[in-house]
């Protein structure tokens, strides 16, 4: 049964069907932790909600409520404990990879699962890849498993870096995924002209850091640029995002996910040929 239906069923003794349909619209399961959003007016029932979900969601050992969206430099969401285990560390399984995550200290979204696999499938054996905003190493690890020769995996958040190092070991990718702690624009000064592919999975900095990403590329290479785009619908989001990078050779584009009301995450796959007249 889909997770939202299980959630609504679990809470059916506390709220009406109509209330549940309106208020229960999302759940993230990360390892053995569930993160839900509940409306403010349900505040006095939050622990009951947590307990009800704990007993209905198989494999879930802790329930947290998201109290603020992923934000700030490190894109960490605000959370509040509701039921079960209080430990915010868990191990998430995805596409035969293991990701150790601390939901209170780093960014992690299970909703990017399809996108991570999509990028990994584009990577050809032997490629050198630079991931400028790597988090706990999600994209980097999948890409390495797909046959990349080296993945330089950069993040500024020391907690994300520490977990990335652990995840590299967990997935037996030492020497292939190279974890680097620092600001991507400083780090890539030492990675000029080496990459077949560069990822910019941080919409807030993608445009600003684009010139540094291009410097990393060999004469020919690929960029994956993630943007947040305000728009009335998905089609418009793509059109507007493409306008921002209209001088580039965009070879593919897609909406990755909806990230708010009339706000979409869009990815543009770009081919760069440095010696061509216009890129």
Ligand X SMILES: C[S@@+](CC[C@H](N)C(=O)[O-])C[C@H]1O[C@@H](n2cnc3c(N)ncnc32)[C@H](O)[C@@H]1O
Whole-number Å distance between alpha carbons of 185 and 248: 21
User: Burial, 150: exposed, middle or buried (Cβ in 10 Å; 0-12, 13-18, 19+)?
Assistant: middle
- The dihedral region occupied by 206, where left means phi > 0, alpha psi between -120 and 50, and beta the remainder, is alpha
Least distance in angstroms from the C-beta of 50 to ligand X = 26
Minimum CB distance to ligand X smaller for 152 or for 202: 202
Minimum CB distance to ligand X smaller for 22 or for 121: 121
Residues 190-221 as b or e (16 or more Cβ within 10 Å = b)? ebeebbbbbbbbbbebbeebbebbbbbbeeeb
DSSP state, 277? S
Place of tokens 């993160």: 35
Minimum CB distance to ligand X smaller for 53 or for 165: 165
Least distance in angstroms from the C-beta of 107 to ligand X = 4
What pairing do the DSSP bridges indicate for beta strands 27-30 and 217-230? unpaired
Q: CA–CA distance from 192 to each of 1, 45, 185, 268 (Å)?
A: 49, 55, 11, 22
Minimum CB distance to ligand X smaller for 138 or for 229: 138
Least distance in angstroms from the C-beta of 137 to ligand X = 8
Minimum CB distance to ligand X smaller for 100 or for 156: 156
Least distance in angstroms from the C-beta of 39 to ligand X = 26
- CB nearest ligand X: which residue? 135
CB 171 within 8 A of CB 145: yes
The closest alpha carbon to 143, from 131, 157, 158, belongs to 131
Least distance in angstroms from the C-beta of 213 to ligand X = 12
What pairing do the DSSP bridges indicate for beta strands 249-260 and 62-71? unpaired
Least distance in angstroms from the C-beta of 70 to ligand X = 7
Binding-site ranges for ligand X (CB under 6 A): 73-75, 107-108, 112, 133-135, 138-139, 154-157, 160, 183-184, 201-202, 205
Minimum CB distance to ligand X smaller for 54 or for 212: 212
Alpha helices in the chain (DSSP H): 3-10, 17-23, 46-56, 113-122, 138-145, 158-170, 184-187, 206-216, 234-244
Minimum CB distance to ligand X smaller for 60 or for 180: 180
Least distance in angstroms from the C-beta of 124 to ligand X = 21
């Amino acid at each position: 049964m889909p997770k939202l239906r299980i959630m609504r069923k679990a809470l059916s003794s506390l709220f009406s069907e109509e209330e549940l349909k309106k208020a229960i619209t999302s759940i993230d399961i990360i390892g053995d932790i569930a993160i839900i959003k509940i409306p403010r007016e349900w505040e006095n029932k939050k622990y009951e909600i947590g307990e009800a979900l704990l007993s209905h969601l198989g494999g879930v050992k802790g329930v947290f409520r998201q109290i603020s969206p992923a934000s700030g430099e490190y894109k960490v969401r605000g959370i509040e404990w509701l039921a079960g285990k209080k430990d915010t560390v868990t191990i998430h399984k995805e596409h035969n990879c293991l990701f150790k995550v601390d939901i209170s200290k780093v960014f992690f979204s299970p909703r990017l699962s399809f996108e991570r696999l999509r990028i990994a499938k584009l990577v050809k054996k032997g490629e050198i890849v630079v991931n400028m905003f790597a988090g706990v190493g999600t994209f980097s690890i999948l890409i390495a498993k797909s046959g990349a020769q080296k993945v330089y995996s950069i993040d500024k958040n020391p907690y994300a870096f520490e977990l990335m190092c652990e995840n590299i070991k967990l997935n037996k990718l030492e020497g292939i995924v190279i974890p680097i702690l620092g600001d991507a624009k400083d780090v890539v000064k030492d990675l000029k002209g080496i990459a077949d592919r560069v990822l910019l999975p941080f919409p807030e900095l993608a445009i600003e850091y684009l010139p540094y990403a291009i410097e990393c590329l060999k004469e020919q290479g690929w960029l994956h640029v993630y943007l947040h785009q305000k728009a009335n619908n998905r089609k418009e989001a793509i059109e507007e995002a493409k306008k921002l990078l209209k001088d580039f050779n965009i070879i593919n584009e897609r909406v990755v996910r909806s990230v708010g009301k009339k706000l979409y995450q869009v990815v543009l796959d770009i081919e760069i040929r440095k010696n061509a007249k216009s890129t």
